A and B are shown apart, each in its own frame.
Chain A
């Protein structure tokens, strides 16, 4: 195994991490800010890919296609939110219903095809794995813009109301906040981000695929959680909202670097999803086990035995 191969793959890994970082910002919005486990994303990322590819092929410019992809994601999140708030369907189930529905919708968008190619030689794309430096630049700029927008929005009255809704719904209602609207709004925004990332991903890889979102939520969670653990370790008390957002993207990059290492080690790619699940489980478990190690019956028992 040649370490040089690993390093030459690094820029590509970082590019993928940046693209998925956009998606992870969306997951952060629902999972961390709204306290809502939204599984819509597996479908809405593919929606973003499908819409982008179809529109670019039919002559739209890449930025315009991405704008429509964003809107399509907003619509998907809106529907999940309405299923949850207006029809009383539990959060996980509402997301799963949309995810399944989007599978059919995405197929329809792509005219019944399971995948569609989008050649960078034929169309003027914003990003591509053939042009990694450009990809890094474009996605880097997009991420900086998105983080700035999020930083601003969650400092506004409306953004504060969304944060309050996620932290304490009872208090929010008592303060006159329409928590149903806030949930719908946050879900819509989040899935807009996710579809945007799907549209960029489709351009990067040169195709959209009906299954490109399978397991996306787990990758998004991996990024959020890795970013949080690393961020807390590095920044600690000086953590603020924009740095937290930045670390979500760092989490996504680290995740794809880890995947790069796995590939470099020639582990069978069939096991990639298994590997992802293990990473997420480990990072979710670390804070819990740390707390438990300091505060366990076993330890209390040992202390107690010393006394008796």
Chain B
């Protein structure tokens, strides 16, 4: 369970670049919910996920994960509750380290890192099995440097790293946006499989409305730093892109202006 209570965040306060990026965001996500997040460019989707991850402190409000108030914890301290996959495939892994070493780093998230071996034989076997489930052949080249992998392989690996130890929340920020459509689909399917296998509480930002409707059991839409739509249950299941766009116009009084969303509407 995660709860955001009236979160506000202003970037560059007091300068001409001042930007109110989160304008009183409140949200409660129950254990095991899979929430997709949509909204135009600059709506505040990444900022909301970064607020949860603790990239910087919020200006107002509270963030509570399973009764633990994490608002005052720095990024590395709350990392133990979180699994994250980023938009840029470069961000989530250490390129000059091996596939197995990256997994071993993730396996120790939130634990004290002492002078025991950074990776054990037993772990390697565990990783081999988990990598095999990705069906990318990575289990055959476990000691290869991650820098040699393609973007899709890196995202799949990051996803595995994020979920190796069950996180209280899985945060996915457009994690397939940098991939070609076919690879994006594979990574999304993998995401779906891992999320349902482990009953992970998940927030997934996507610019693709179809994916937002297809995946997850709840959808929220953001605009100008606010959550303007929140649809769950049966209504979410039967949602169409037309309805979603219509609702957006109704609530915000504007037209939806995300080029990619419009593109994906066309190829719908």
Contact = CB atoms under 8 A, between A and B. Distances in A.
A161 interface: yes
A175 B79 contact: yes
Interface stretch (B36-44, B102-110, B132-140, B196-204): B102-110
B75 to A, nearest CB: 5
Contacts of B115: 153, 156-158
Interface stretch (B90-98, B229-237, B243-251): B90-98
A64 B41 CA distance: 63
Nearest to A178: B76
A175 B110 CA distance: 7
Interface in A136-184: 153, 155-161, 163-164, 167-168, 170-179
Nearest to A154: B118
A134 to B, nearest CB: 33
Contacts of A164: 94, 97, 105
A173 B73 CA distance: 12
A167 B76 contact: no
A168 B93 CA distance: 7
Interface in A31-77: none
Given A157-B113, A159-B118, A176 B95 contact: no
A163 B113 contact: no
B116 A176 contact: no
Contact of B118 (A157, A173, A178, A179): A157
A138 to B, nearest CB: 27
Contacts of B92: 171, 174
Given A160-B101, A167-B95, A173 B117 contact: no
B14 interface: no
B106 A175 contact: yes
B93 A171 contact: yes
A170 B91 contact: yes
A161 B92 CA distance: 15
Interface string B109-130: 1110111111100000000000
A204 B84 CA distance: 53
B65 to A, nearest CB: 14
B52 interface: no
Contacts of A173: 75-76, 79
The contact size tier of chain B is 20 to 34
B118 A176 contact: no
A86 B97 CA distance: 28
Report which residue of A168, A171, A177, A178 has the largest number of chain B beta carbons within 10 angstroms of its beta carbon. A171
A246 B129 CA distance: 35
A162 to B, nearest CB: 9
A179 B97 contact: no
Contacts of A157: 108, 113-118
Contacts of B113: 157-158, 160-161, 177
Nearest to A153: B115
A155 B117 contact: yes
Nearest to A177: B76
A173 B105 CA distance: 11
A35 to B, nearest CB: 10
Contacts of A163: 94, 96-97
Contacts of A159: 118
A159 B92 CA distance: 19
A176 B79 contact: yes
Which of the listed residues A159, A167, A172 has the most CB atoms from chain B within 10 Å of its own CB?
A167
Of the listed residues A155, A156, A163, A174, the one surrounded by the most CB atoms of chain B closer than 10 A to its CB is A174
B53 interface: yes
A137 to B, nearest CB: 30
B117 A156 contact: yes
B46 to A, nearest CB: 13
B213 to A, nearest CB: 28
Nearest to A156: B115
A157 B105 CA distance: 8
Interface in B54-101: 75-77, 79-80, 82, 84, 90-97, 101
A160 B104 contact: yes
A171 B96 CA distance: 12
A174 B80 CA distance: 9
Nearest to A167: B94
A28 to B, nearest CB: 14
A179 B114 CA distance: 15
Given A158-B113, A174-B53, A175-B106, A168 B80 contact: no
A176 B81 CA distance: 10
Contacts of B75: 173-174
A153 B116 CA distance: 9
Contacts of B161: 175
Contacts of B97: 160, 163-164, 167
Given A160-B113, A176-B108, 12 more contacts: A156-B114, A156-B117, A157-B118, A163-B97, A164-B97, A167-B97, A174-B53, A174-B79, A176-B76, A176-B77, A176-B109, A177-B113
Q: What 6 A-B pairs come out closest when comparing CB atoms? A: A176-B79, A160-B118, A157-B113, A167-B94, A176-B109, A168-B94
